[in-house]
Amino acid sequence: MGGGGVYLASGWARAYLVAIVVASFINEAFFQRQGELILWLLTLGSMAMLLVGADRAVHAAVKLAKALGISTVIIGATVVSLGTTAPEACVSVMAAWRGNPGLALGNSVGSVICDTALIFGLCCCLTRLPLDRFVLRRHGWLQLGAGALLTAVVFVGAWVGGVDGAVIPRWVGYGFLGLLVGYLYISFRWARQHPEMIPSEARQSANKISAGTVAAMLGVLGLGLALVLAGSDALIGSVKELCIRNNVPDHIVAVTLVAFGTSLPELATALTAIIKGHPGLLVGNVIGADILNVLFVIGASASASELAVPPLFLQLHLPVMMLSLLLLRGYIFASRDRFSRWQGIPLLAIYIGYLALLGSIVGATGLN
């Protein structure tokens, strides 16, 4: 291993450890001592930290994946999606550990709605996105299936325990994580069959990459994950305290402010993909992120702590999520090689209407 690579990797490792230590000292008492303006600044700053951390992690992961010869489509649906859903996973798991199941669940469901209705809808309006039949015949059905599975689990829980007693038990979380492993495995199996699979001569070039370069990539990946960890911890603390002071249910903030904030990596990736002429990466990222928001984020959160489901999830959040996923699925059936720009308008309308309805419900009833 080259000396520069060792030094860089060790430097990022130290930064990673420092970030973990700093995050461990930011507890609830710290946020309780801050004024409301400082709390809002901490919220915005932690979102920025999440965005920068996820961007660095994704950049390093993509370079590694390309060096190993993984196709661009699979990078979007797996590697990039894993990186961009890291904020949701960290935020939701920490929320579950801290006894905020509404925040954990709301962040995940809100992110699916944001990714599908807002990000895909917006980008669909900006350009005619490619429709990759190979991917959408496989990952597309898994996207819809993951959302349907989560919805079924919640409604069965409500049927068994009542609307106010619905929970996602820990064993369901373990099951989702098991499905996550299966999803990643089959995705890389499908990668070898994809028509755009990187040719063997490109994969052979990976052998020329020095160990020092690989160490540097891993170091940047570690730094990005450290920023995600510290940012998510600060985000949870500041948002929770703001909810308490303003009598706003934490799951309401989760499906709006936090979900949008943790979906910023997907939005940044999507817009960058369009600007650089790689819209296929955007499609794969949105589909993969939706799958991972259920299997990875909900799975990890429920495994950490049983998730109580607020009634509004059955009445609004989950129906809107399924409406967005079903509409996208309908577009796939109706389209040929590309999505039409007009198809983004109904998705954006769903997101805007969802926020308006949510605001009116909270304003009228103070629902919790």
Structural domain includes residue 123 = yes
The DSSP result for 140-197, as a single string, is: HHHHHHHHHHHHHHHHHHHHHH-GGG-EE-HHHHHHHHHHHHHHHHHHHHHHTT-TTP
Give the pLDDT confidence of 316-338 residue by residue, as tens digits: 999 999 999 999 999 988 888 89
The number of distinct structural domains making up the chain is 1
Rounded Cα–Cα distance for residues 184 and 239 (Å): 32
Instruction: Say what the pLDDT of residue 8 is.
Output: 45
Q: What is the mean pLDDT of residues 355-361?
A: 82
Q: What is the mean pLDDT of residues 255-261?
A: 68
Q: Is the pLDDT of residue 261 over 70?
A: no
| 80 and 63 Cβ atoms separated by less than 8 Å | no
Instruction: Say what the pLDDT of residue 3 is.
Output: 46
Q: Is the pLDDT of residue 179 over 90?
A: yes
Residue 307 has phi, psi (to 5 degrees) of -105, 115
Kindly state the tokens that stand for 49: 């930290």
Look up the CATH number of the domain holding residue 294. 1.20.1420.30
Instruction: Say what the pLDDT of residue 1 is.
Output: 45
Instruction: Say what the pLDDT of residue 240 is.
Output: 74
- In angstroms, the Cα distances linking 365 to 252, 285, 358 are 13, 37, 11
Q: What is the mean pLDDT of residues 217-237?
A: 72
Q: Is the pLDDT of residue 66 over 80?
A: no
Structural domain includes residue 367 = no
More confident: 83 or 148: 148
48-52, 187-191, 209-213: the lowest-pLDDT one: 209-213
Structural domain includes residue 62 = yes
Kindly state the tokens that stand for 338: 């590309």
Q: Is the pLDDT of residue 315 over 80?
A: yes
Kindly state the tokens that stand for 253: 């903030």
| 13 and 223 Cβ atoms separated by less than 8 Å | no
More confident: 251 or 349: 349
- What is the reported pTM? 0.75
Q: Calculate helix-pair angle for 101-113, 318-334, nearest 10 degrees.
A: 20
The DSSP result for 26-51, as a single string, is: --HHHHHTS-HHHHHHHHHHHHHHHH
157: left (phi over 0), alpha (psi -120 to 50) or beta: alpha
Kindly state the tokens that stand for 215: 């160490």
CA–CA–CA angle 143, 116, 151 (5° rounding): 50
Give the pLDDT confidence of 23-65 residue by residue, as tens digits: 444 566 777 888 888 888 888 888 787 777 767 766 776 676 6
What's the DSSP call for residue 198?
P
The DSSP result for 230-269, as a single string, is: HHHHHHHHHHHHHHHHHT--HHHHIIIIIHHHHTHHHHHH
Average pLDDT of the residues of the chain:
78
Instruction: Say what the pLDDT of residue 237 is.
Output: 76
Instruction: Say what the pLDDT of residue 98 is.
Output: 76
Structural domain includes residue 368 = no
Instruction: Say what the pLDDT of residue 333 is.
Output: 87
Kindly state the tokens that stand for 118: 């807002």
Q: Which residues contact 65 (CB under 8 A, 6 or more apart)?
A: 75, 79
Give the pLDDT confidence of 10-24 residue by residue, as tens digits: 454 454 445 444 544
Domain that holds residue 191: 3-361
Instruction: Say what the pLDDT of residue 285 is.
Output: 82
Per-residue pLDDT band for 121 (boundaries 50, 70, 90) equals very high
Structural domain includes residue 349 = yes
Q: What is the mean pLDDT of residues 221-225?
A: 71
- Beta strand segments in 259-334, E: 307-308
Using DSSP bridges, classify how beta strands 167-168 and 307-308 pair: parallel, antiparallel or unpaired: antiparallel
What's the DSSP call for residue 340?
-
Q: Calculate helix-pair angle for 318-334, 139-161, nearest 10 degrees.
A: 150
Q: Is the pLDDT of residue 201 over 50?
A: no
Q: What is the mean pLDDT of residues 128-156?
A: 89
Residue/partner pairs of 100-103 with CB below 8 Å, 24 or more apart: 100/236, 100/240, 100/250, 101/301, 101/305, 101/306, 101/307, 101/308, 101/309, 102/249, 102/250, 102/251, 102/254, 102/308, 102/310, 103/236, 103/239, 103/240, 103/250, 103/251, 103/253, 103/254, 103/258
What's the DSSP call for residue 338?
B
| 44 and 161 Cβ atoms separated by less than 8 Å | no
